[in-house]
C-alpha cells in the first residue's frame, strides 16, 4: 500500500474546479455538424453510418436535412435503431447506402453542406425581419400578434426553410429557375418557394472535401462474400424453346419413336382427316355388331317357353330377364305382441294389465261436478225396506 505524504499529495483532489463567479454561458459550437462512424463497408453497394451534432438542439432538423440532401447526391438513407427490441430510433444517426464513390463524397461534404444551409437560413431570417418591418403584410401581422408569437413563428419558419432548402442542394439537382417573391406577398406562407429560389446560391463545389473523400474510400472494408447457392436446374431437359423445337427424334421401348414438337404441326390436317375416317369406319362396325347381338337375343328369348328364374350368364345383357324388384324389396313385418318391455312372450300378468276395465254399474251414481268446483255427496239408492220405513214414518206424523 502506497503511503501518502505531503510531498506527493495532489493539490487538486477533484477532476474539476468549482466556479464561484456565477453562471457562465457556453460559447457557440464551432465544430463539425456531422461525422462518420466506423469504416465504409463495400459489398456490391457501400454502407456508411453518419451522425449529426445536436448543437442548439437542432439534431432532428439536421438529420431530416441530411435525408433530403441524399437525393441530390444519388444515395439512399435509412434510419438507425438505437434499441431494436424497444423499436426506438436513434435521433441523430443515419445510414447511407449507394455507390462507393457517391457515398464517400456525400459523407465528406455533409458537414460543410449543413453549415452552408444553416448560414443561408440565418441570412434569410434577417431578410424576413426586414420584410416584417417594412411590408404591409408584416405590419398587419405585428398588429395582431405579440413579440412572443413572433419568436415562435421565426423558430418554426427557420426549420421549415432548412428542410425545403436541402431538397434543392446537390450536384444532381436540376435547375428550377425560381425567383424570390416581392414584398407584396405573404412570406410566412411560402417558405418552400423561397427555399427553391435560394437553392442555387449554395455552391457544392466550394464545400467539397477531396481529402476526406479519398480517405473514406481508401479505408473502406470489403465485406465477406456471400455464399451464392447454386442455381437449381430447370425441370425441362432443354435449355430454351429453340432447343426443344429442334430436338432430334427419340426412341422409346414402349411408345416407339417420340417426336418433340412445339406449336401447331403443318401436317396435322392430313393426320386429323385420316383419324376421322378411321373413327367413322370403327363406329359403323360397332353398330353392325350391336345389331347382330340384339337380333340374336330377341330370337333366344322367343324360344323360351317360361321366363327364366335366374339371369342367363352366358347370354348377352339384352337377353337376360329383368329382376323382380317387388319380390326383392324389403318388407316391414309388424308383430301383434308389443315390444314396450324386454320380453318376447306374452304372460298372464301382461294380458291382465292389458285387459280393458269393465263399464261402471248403472245404479252407482258418478260424482257430479258443480260449476263452482265443489263435489256433492252421492245419494244412496232407495231399497224396499227403506220405502216401508218412510211410509210408516209419514203415517205416524
pLDDT in tens, 185-212: 999 999 999 999 999 999 999 999 999 9
Distance CA 160, CA 68 (A): 12
Q: Which residues contact 131 (CB under 8 A, 6 or more apart)?
A: 137, 138, 183, 187
State mean pLDDT over 333-360.
54
Tell me the three cell numbers of residue 20: 464561484
Flag whether pLDDT at 252 surpasses 60. yes
Distance CA 62, CA 68 (A): 10
Highest mean pLDDT among 87-96, 241-250, 303-312, 319-328: 87-96
Among candidates 224, 138, 219, 232, which has minimal Cα distance to 186?
138
Among candidates 115, 109, 118, which has minimal Cα distance to 172?
109
Tell me the three cell numbers of residue 260: 418433340
State mean pLDDT over 79-88.
81
Percentage of residues of the chain with pLDDT beyond 90: 34
pLDDT of residue 103: 95
Distance CA 213, CA 103 (A): 9
Tell me the three cell numbers of residue 288: 353392325
Taken as a whole, the chain contains a residue count of 397
Among candidates 12, 17, 35, which has minimal Cα distance to 93?
35
Q: In the Cβ-directed half-sphere of 75, how many Cα atoms lie within 13 Å? A: 29
pLDDT of residue 242: 79
Distance CA 103, CA 97 (A): 7
5-25 in b/e form (b: 16+ CB < 10 A) is eeeeeeeeeeeeeeeeeeeee
Distance CA 390, CA 388 (A): 5
Cell 427557420 appears where?
158
Q: In the Cβ-directed half-sphere of 48, how many Cα atoms lie within 13 Å? A: 29
The 10s digit of each residue's pLDDT in 10-31 is 454 444 444 555 565 667 788 8
Strand-pair partners of 95:
49, 78
Distance CA 80, CA 157 (A): 27
Residue 341 banded pLDDT, cuts 50, 70, 90: very low
Residue 2 banded pLDDT, cuts 50, 70, 90: very low
Strand-by-strand arrangement of the 88-98 sheet: 76-83, 88-98, 45-52, 34-43, 221-222
pLDDT of residue 162: 94
Torsion angle, CA of 231/237/242/245, rounded to 10 degrees? -160
Amino acid at each position: 500500500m502506497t503511503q501518502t505524504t505531503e510531498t506527493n499529495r495532489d493539490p487538486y483532489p477533484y477532476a474539476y474546479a468549482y466556479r464561484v463567479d456565477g453562471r457562465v454561458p457556453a460559447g457557440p459550437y464551432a465544430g463539425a455538424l456531422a461525422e462518420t462512424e466506423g469504416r465504409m463497408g463495400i459489398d456490391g453497394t457501400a454502407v456508411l453510418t453518419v451522425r449529426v451534432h445536436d448543437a442548439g438542439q437542432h439534431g432532428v432538423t439536421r438529420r431530416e436535412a441530411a435525408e433530403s440532401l441524399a437525393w441530390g447526391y444519388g444515395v439512399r438513407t435509412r434510419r438507425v435503431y438505437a434499441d431494436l427490441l424497444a423499436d426506438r430510433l436513434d435521433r441523430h444517426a443515419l445510414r447511407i447506402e449507394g455507390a462507393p464513390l457517391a457515398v464517400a463524397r456525400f459523407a465528406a461534404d455533409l458537414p460543410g453542406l449543413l453549415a452552408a444551409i444553416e448560414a443561408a437560413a440565418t441570412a434569410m431570417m434577417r431578410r424576413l425581419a426586414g420584410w416584417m418591418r417594412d411590408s404591409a403584410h408584416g405590419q398587419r401581422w405585428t398588429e395582431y400578434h405579440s413579440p412572443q408569437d413572433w419568436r415562435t413563428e421565426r423558430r418554426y419558419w427557420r426549420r421549415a426553410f432548412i428542410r425545403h432548402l436541402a431538397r434543392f442542394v446537390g450536384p444532381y439537382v436540376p435547375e428550377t429557375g425560381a425567383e424570390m417573391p416581392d414584398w407584396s406577398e405573404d412570406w410566412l406562407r411560402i417558405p418552400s418557394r423561397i427555399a427553391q429560389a435560394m437553392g442555387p446560391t449554395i455552391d457544392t463545389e466550394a464545400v467539397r472535401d477531396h481529402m476526406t473523400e479519398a480517405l473514406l474510400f481508401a479505408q473502406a472494408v470489403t465485406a465477406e462474400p456471400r455464399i451464392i447457392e447454386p442455381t437449381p436446374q430447370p425441370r425441362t431437359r432443354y435449355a430454351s424453346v429453340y432447343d426443344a423445337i429442334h430436338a432430334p427424334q427419340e426412341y422409346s421401348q414402349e411408345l416407339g419413336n417420340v417426336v418433340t414438337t412445339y406449336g401447331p404441326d403443318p401436317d396435322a390436317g392430313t393426320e386429323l382427316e385420316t383419324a376421322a375416317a378411321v373413327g367413322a369406319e370403327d363406329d359403323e362396325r360397332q353398330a353392325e355388331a350391336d345389331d347382330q347381338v340384339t337380333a340374336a337375343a330377341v330370337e333366344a328369348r322367343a324360344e323360351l317357353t317360361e321366363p327364366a328364374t335366374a339371369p342367363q350368364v352366358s347370354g348377352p345383357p339384352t337377353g337376360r330377364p329383368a329382376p323382380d324388384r317387388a319380390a326383392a324389396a324389403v318388407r316391414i313385418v309388424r308383430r301383434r305382441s308389443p315390444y314396450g318391455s324386454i320380453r318376447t312372450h306374452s304372460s298372464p300378468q301382461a294380458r291382465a294389465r292389458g285387459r280393458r276395465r269393465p263399464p261402471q254399474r248403472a245404479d252407482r251414481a258418478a260424482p257430479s261436478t258443480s260449476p263452482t268446483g265443489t263435489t256433492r255427496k252421492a245419494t244412496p239408492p232407495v231399497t224396499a225396506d227403506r220405502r216401508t220405513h218412510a211410509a210408516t214414518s209419514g203415517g205416524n206424523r
